[in-house]
Amino acid sequence: MREILPVLAGWHAAGIPFGLATVVAVSRSAPRGPGAAMAVGPDDEVLGSVSGGCVEGAVFELAQEVVASGEPRLETFGYSDEDAFAVGLTCGGEITLLVRPVTAASDPAFGAVAASVAGGEPVTVATVVDGPAPRGATLAVWPDRTASTLGTDGLDIAVTADARGELALGASVLRHYGPRGERREDAVTVFLQSFAPPPRMLVFGAIDYAAAVARIGDFLGYRVTVCDARPVFATPKRFPAGVEVVVDWPHRYLGGTDTDDRTVICVLTHDPKFDVPLLEEALRRPAAYIGAMGSRRTHDERRARLAEAGLTRAELDRLRSPLGLDLGARTPEEVAVSVAAEIVALRWGGSGAPLTTTAGAIHHPVAP
């Protein structure tokens, strides 16, 4: 959704109606998660995807129908054993889509939401999916304000509280309420879609490997910063256009930078005078991933120095070193792939093993 919002905002501002299909629930194996979106606009232009191609043809027709009728639709698509060519998901999963018309009248806050997402301001959009409330009605929730309504004050109040909680987690989920926001009822189903600012990736050490890691981090949707104390290496021309480059001592820069439980820290400096004070700071603050480059001997020596500096066993155990998965990588680009693979595996609970050697669900369940 984030990728197609700029174009959708342009349609909305120009008063052009469009159909918007959003994945609100998935079960078993599904190619796209909740929040994935596809829009059909003027001249049958299609943006985005909800299934990677499995059901897009049917969704295209649904989007045209809801724009013509003005009535939102809730549709579920799954795999059909009887007819392999039927509309469905060949991966065996099931997705539920809310397909709704978007106009200036039906969704007056759409432009403000798009502007917030573009500007990195956190916002959650709550949309009625089912029940005795106007299907397709939306409520935009920021940390300090709201816009629009789901139909009743009680429902707006309850959903606003939950939306701000999910926004802090960056989560997109279904929630159930009574018609007036009663917590112990499930008559009204509401989809909360959070647009939190992109997570940070902090890369320390402006070497060739850093350029490759920064490139793949940018591709994965991180806001990437590369930091090095050596100005001859820390030059913007050596890195992708969207990457911030900072000249500073790594530990000093990190000490003045906010991190959270989504932040990724990659230490590629490979020099004790940079590594040790930097990791002292990193291992004592919130982060999803802290990895450091180096041989096993370098790792052992670095860990001993950190222990001497007073870090606890629990703090030291947070360090992923040598960083990356065992792919046999050689080039900077291959090493970047191994680092990214480890970050993704740690984020979603993957084993890092070849899928041909594993059994069960391919996509690990996400904790509520």
What is the tally of helices (H) and strands (E) in the chain?
10, 16
Cβ atoms of 201 and 207 closer than 8 Å: no
Q: What pLDDT shows up at residue 83? A: 39
Other CB atoms within a 10 A radius of the CB of residue 66 amount to: 23
- Rounded-to-integer distance, Cα 169 and Cα 49, Å: 24
For residue 365, what pLDDT is reported?
53
Nearest to 170 by CA among 136, 214, 124: 124
CA 263-264-268 angle, to 5 degrees, is 145
Q: What is the pLDDT of residue 86?
A: 47
DSSP H or E run through 73: strand 73-78
**How far is the C-alpha of 351 from the C-alpha of 198, rounded, in Å?**
25
Distance CA 336, CA 217 (A): 9
Residue 105: count of CB within 10 angstroms of its CB: 10
Residue 99, classed as helix, strand or coil, is strand
Q: Which amino acid is at 156?
A: D
Q: What is the pLDDT of residue 363?
A: 61
CB atoms within 10 A of CB 351: 10
Query: What DSSP state is assigned to residue 131?
Result: S
d(CA 84, CA 97): 21
pLDDT at 30: 58
Enumerate the H helices of the chain as residue ranges. 5-13, 56-69, 110-118, 153-169, 208-219, 250-255, 272-282, 296-308, 313-316, 332-348
- Per-residue pLDDT, 172: 86
pLDDT recorded at residue 257? 97
Q: List the pLDDT tens digit at each of the 368 positions of the chain.
A: 888 999 999 999 999 999 999 999 987 655 668 899 999 999 999 999 987 666 888 999 999 999 999 999 999 887 554 433 445 555 556 889 999 999 999 999 999 999 999 988 999 999 999 999 999 999 999 999 999 999 999 999 999 999 998 887 677 889 999 999 998 888 999 999 999 888 899 999 998 899 999 999 998 889 999 999 999 999 999 898 889 999 999 999 999 999 998 899 999 988 889 999 999 999 999 999 999 999 999 999 999 999 999 999 999 999 999 999 999 999 999 999 999 999 999 988 889 999 899 887 776 554 43
What is the C-alpha separation between 241 and 42, in angstroms, rounded?
Answer: 32
